[in-house]
């Protein structure tokens, strides 16, 4: 059975059992501070488990894109080494929100596996939670009894908390689970060792295929368990492992999920899968990693140096490094796999097909950049190995870590190259540096939250901010958090006019007042679907009714910028083409920042044209056309632009400024008419990532201030130049005159340097076969000193030159040593100059043959000469 058919049959099976099929959430998470990536099928349903919001159906099924490369669920280093771990994988799942529970979940899972997919019942084992004394939980007897009706007791395994109690993180929904494991070994192997003995023992052919989680509890910050408002079922089945079992393979990578990719890479590298362990690992790593990278970019996460972007960049670089080292790929290759990948997922995840050209270009640019870095790293490693040979044969841990952190060289690669050069590496030192980095990262992102204190129950928080900037509200619940050592409070209201940060628009600020006291709301954010207000303090009377009031000035200025981004987006598509797609934005009261897909720098003419179109739409004073709760299909028929990486429900909000110009899906707040924006001015355009450009612009008051400042500046320049008829021509003339004067000064300085060169040449003294020059000099600039040093080196053999120079009243030292003397006398100009620079209260450094230093004390130059003579006399007379 092909993998596409497996996926279809799974979804159809549960659809026939009244489950609603829903789309996968984006792999990159937007509004959950506890997670970077979707790491389990249940992530998008967390609020349903907690009772914060209600699902459209009590029974749901889907296939969810997941990524496990950070945090608690981190499989990255195992990927490629074995045959069943992955970074990106699909999780097939079925959910019950307060509807059916353990009985149906177990029965249906068994029926699907054995009847629909015809997996051998006698090769499967079920595990149940065996209880945990610390949590005060007994064995899951209920699940055990249901399994006993289906399979013999000797194939039911009592599991530990580690294996059979599922928790998404340190806090949140959790519960006991039943795992279904399958033994895929040959009959001969199975006869030697029972499969039961290999369950959860990391055997590559005795694997967990499905996990049935029974969500009953919420893990609180203090570690205790609290019953959830209702009991839920959350199941997750690894699609790739299921395909392996159904297709009778011994490895996930042998299934048709991966084999087209592996064959493509192997053919490109002129190798064959299955013949060499090192190339096999490389083929597995690349075929796995390209999926994670492509889907992350499709969901809006570009490779970068921060947070989620850094994780994606690490995955990409790991794949490139394996291709470079073991498959001989010295040019970009991963980008060529994107069309094949898109074809594989056509009809399942359409975002790959829709963006395959963009994804390919982003990956190619990242590959080019890292291949250059790899070359530099190899060159640096060659220097390091040569130095280690001359010292103690050991590459220290700090250096190994630098190669890892800066150049992407994992420990095993550096270790391999070291062994080839008969060197060793300081593994303990490397681990220590890794630990320091982890602790530094952990501390930088450290936020701890207490448990929610619930004051009253509410079905759903009402957002009133589209119509009003104030509301009568009550506190539903609150909790204390510690954010980088600062104490804050998070408050949830039953009704709120505060817009929570989302879609690029910043969260509202304002205050809560009960008449007696006012407390400031310093930010508003979303946690999943919950609106959370941040404050430095709590009201004294938590049960009072409050006036919740938004900072109206900030909100209105923010709305100007937000509506301007919609006008800007449409204008960019008109001027640059329909390939332009939003790739990120920031909208606050001061500025709008808009990232979009485009592969070349915009010309001045294009920027002017975009600006002109936007301001024309502003002057037209187009009224906002806002439609809420529009069925998603109807919105798409209206031509509404959806953003890749956003999770849209069945009903959406559509924002239109002229149906023939700008129609977008958007949850943000906007101006009532475009005329309110007043004016938009683009202040910068540049690159932020491969294939992504960024425009920053200002509107309204700030745009007016910008033009006022520019006009004043022009007036000041005009006045300084005595109001010439042609201001531009007058400035050009000044620039030309300056360039001519600069050339004249340089010519004079060269003459002075030449004269000084003659003086210095006469000061050279032969000492035991060496030509030694130690002297003071006066030169007009540092460039002249450098030029003079290299000229003397090229003209004089066996030269040791130390010049203490007065450069326009500032002390500087230059050391130049012939390369042959660097080796024969074991000299290093960079080390020597550090010692001499102390005499002028300065510092410097450089290469073994050439180094410079500057300082603060001009009077120390004679001491430099004296000390240099002592050092060099000791060396040349030795």
- Give the global pTM: 0.76
Q: Which single residue is written with the structure tokens 């963009």?
A: 358
Q: Which tens digit of pLDDT belongs to each residue from 298-308?
A: 998 889 877 88
The two tokens of residue 105 are 């979940």
The sign of the dihedral angle between the CA atoms of 6, 11, 175, 483 is positive
Give dist(CA 321, CA 315) in Å, integer. Answer: 10
Residue 72, pLDDT score:
46
Least Cα distance to 293 among 263, 323, 255 occurs for 323
Residue 411, pLDDT score:
78
CA of 104: how far to CAs of 18, 141, 675, in Å?
13, 16, 59
Residue 321, pLDDT score:
86
Backbone angles phi, psi at 257, to 5 degrees: -70, -40
Residue 545, pLDDT score:
94
Q: Which tens digit of pLDDT belongs to each residue from 4-40?
A: 999 999 999 999 999 999 999 898 887 666 678 888 7
Give the DSSP H or E segment for 839: none
CB 696 within 8 A of CB 673: no
Residues in the chain: 878
Name the stretches of the chain with pLDDT < 50: 71-73
Find the angle CA(598)-CA(600)-CA(605) to the nearest 5 degrees: 100
Burial string for 279-312 (b: 16+ CB within 10 Å, else e) reads bbbbbbbbbbbbbbbbbbbbbbbbbeeeebbebb
Least Cα distance to 788 among 835, 827, 825, 749 occurs for 749
Residue 409, pLDDT score:
75
Half-sphere exposure (CA, 13 Å, Cβ side) for 804?
Answer: 24
Give dist(CA 46, CA 218) in Å, integer. Answer: 11
Q: Which residues of 148-240 form beta strands (DSSP E)? A: 156-159, 165-167, 172-183, 206-219, 225-238
């Amino acid at each position: 059975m092909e993998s596409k058919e497996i996926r279809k049959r799974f979804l159809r099976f549960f659809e026939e059992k009244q489950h609603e099929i829903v789309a996968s959430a984006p792999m990159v998470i937007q509004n959950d501070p506890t997670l970077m990536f979707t790491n389990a099928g249940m992530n998008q349903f967390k609020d349903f488990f907690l009772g914060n919001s209600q699902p459209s159906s009590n029974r749901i099924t889907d296939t969810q894109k997941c990524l496990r490369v950070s945090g608690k669920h981190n499989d990255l280093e195992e990927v490629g080494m074995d045959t069943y771990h992955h970074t990106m994988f699909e999780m097939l799942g079925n959910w019950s929100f307060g509807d059916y529970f353990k009985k149906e979940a177990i029965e249906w899972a068994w029926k699907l596996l054995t009847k629909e997919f015809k997996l051998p019942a006698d090769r499967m084992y079920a595990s149940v939670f065996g209880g945990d004394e610390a949590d005060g939980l007994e064995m899951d007897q209920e699940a055990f009894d249901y399994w006993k009706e289906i399979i013999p007791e000797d194939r039911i395994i009592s599991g530990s908390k580690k294996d059979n109690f599922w928790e998404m993180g340190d806090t949140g929904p959790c519960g006991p689970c039943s795992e279904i494991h399958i033994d895929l070994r040959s009959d001969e192997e199975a006869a030697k060792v029972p499969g039961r003995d290999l369950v959860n023992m990391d055997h590559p052919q005795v694997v967990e295929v499905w996990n049935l989680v029974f969500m009953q509890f919420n893990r609180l910050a203090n570690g205790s368990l609290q019953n959830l408002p209702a009991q839920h079922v959350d199941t997750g089945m690894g699609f790739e492992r299921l395909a392996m079992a159904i297709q009778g393979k011994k490895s996930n990578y042998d299934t048709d999920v991966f084999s087209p990719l592996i064959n493509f890479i192997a053919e490109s590298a002129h190798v064959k899968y299955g013949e060499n362990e090192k190339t096999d690992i490389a083929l597995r790593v690349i075929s796995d990693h390209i999926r994670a990278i492509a889907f992350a970019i499709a969901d809006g996460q570009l490779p970068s140096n921060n947070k989620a972007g850094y994780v994606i960049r690490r995955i990409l670089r790991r794949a490139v490094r394996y291709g470079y080292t073991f498959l001989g790929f010295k040019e970009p290759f991963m980008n060529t796999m994107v069309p094949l990948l898109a074809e594989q997922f056509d009809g399942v995840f359409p975002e790959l097909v829709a963006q395959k050209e963009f994804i390919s270009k982003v990956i190619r640019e990242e590959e080019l950049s890292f291949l250059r870095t790899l070359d530099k790293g190899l060159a640096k490693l060659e220097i390091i190995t040569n130095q280690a040979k001359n010292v103690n044969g050991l590459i220290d841990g700090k250096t190994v870590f630098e190669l890892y952190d800066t150049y992407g060289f994992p420990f095993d690669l550096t270790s391999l190259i070291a062994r080839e050069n008969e060197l060793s590496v300081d593994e303990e030192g490397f681990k220590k540096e890794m630990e320091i980095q982890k602790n530094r990262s952990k501390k930088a992102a450290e936020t701890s939250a207490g448990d929610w204190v619930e004051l009253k129950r509410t079905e759903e928080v009402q957002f009133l901010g589209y119509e009003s900037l104030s509301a009568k509200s009550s506190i539903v619940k609150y909790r204390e958090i510690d954010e980088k050592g600062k104490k804050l409070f998070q408050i949830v209201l039953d009704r709120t006019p505060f817009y929570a940060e989302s879609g690029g628009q910043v969260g509202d600020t304002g205050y809560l007042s009960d008449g007696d006291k006012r407390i400031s709301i310093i930010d508003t954010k979303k946690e999943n679907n919950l609106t959370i207000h941040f404050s430095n303090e709590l009201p004294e009377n938590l049960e009072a009714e409050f006036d919740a009031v938004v900072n109206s000035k900030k909100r209105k200025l923010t709305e100007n910028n937000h509506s301007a981004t919609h006008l800007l987006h449409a204008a960019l598509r008109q001027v640059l083409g329909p390939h332009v797609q939003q790739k990120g934005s920031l909208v606050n009261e001061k500025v709008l920042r808009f990232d979009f897909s485009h592969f070349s720098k915009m010309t001045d003419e294009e920027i002017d044209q975009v600006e002109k179109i936007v301001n024309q739409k502003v002057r037209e004073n187009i009224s906002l056309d806002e439609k809420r709760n529009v069925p998603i299909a109807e919105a798409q028929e209206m031509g509404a632009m959806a953003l890749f990486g956003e999770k849209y429900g069945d009903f959406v909000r559509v924002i239109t400024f002229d149906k023939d110009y700008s129609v977008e899906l958007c949850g943000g707040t906007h101006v009532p008419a475009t005329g309110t924006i007043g004016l938009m001015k683009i202040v910068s355009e540049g690159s932020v990532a491969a294939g992504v450009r960024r425009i920053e612009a200002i509107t309204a008051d700030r745009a007016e201030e910008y033009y006022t400042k520019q006009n004043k500046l022009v007036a000041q320049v005009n006045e300084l130049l005595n109001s010439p008829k042609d201001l531009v021509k007058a400035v050009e003339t000044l620039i030309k005159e300056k360039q001519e004067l600069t050339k004249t000064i340089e010519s004079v300085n060269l003459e002075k340097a030449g004269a000084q060169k003659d003086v210095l040449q006469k000061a050279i003294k032969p000492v035991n076969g060496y030509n030694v020059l130690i002297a003071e000099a006066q030169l007009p600039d540092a460039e002249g000193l450098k030029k003079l040093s290299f000229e003397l080196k090229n003209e004089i053999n066996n030269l040791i030159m130390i010049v203490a120079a007065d450069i326009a009243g500032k002390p500087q030292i230059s050391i130049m040593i012939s390369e042959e003397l660097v080796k024969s006398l074991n000299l290093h100009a960079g080390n020597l100059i550090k010692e001499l620079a102390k005499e002028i209260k300065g510092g410097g450094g450089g290469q073994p043959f050439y180094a410079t230093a500057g300082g603060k004390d001009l009077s120390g130059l004679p001491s430099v000469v004296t000390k240099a003579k002592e050092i060099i006399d000791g060396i040349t007379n030795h």
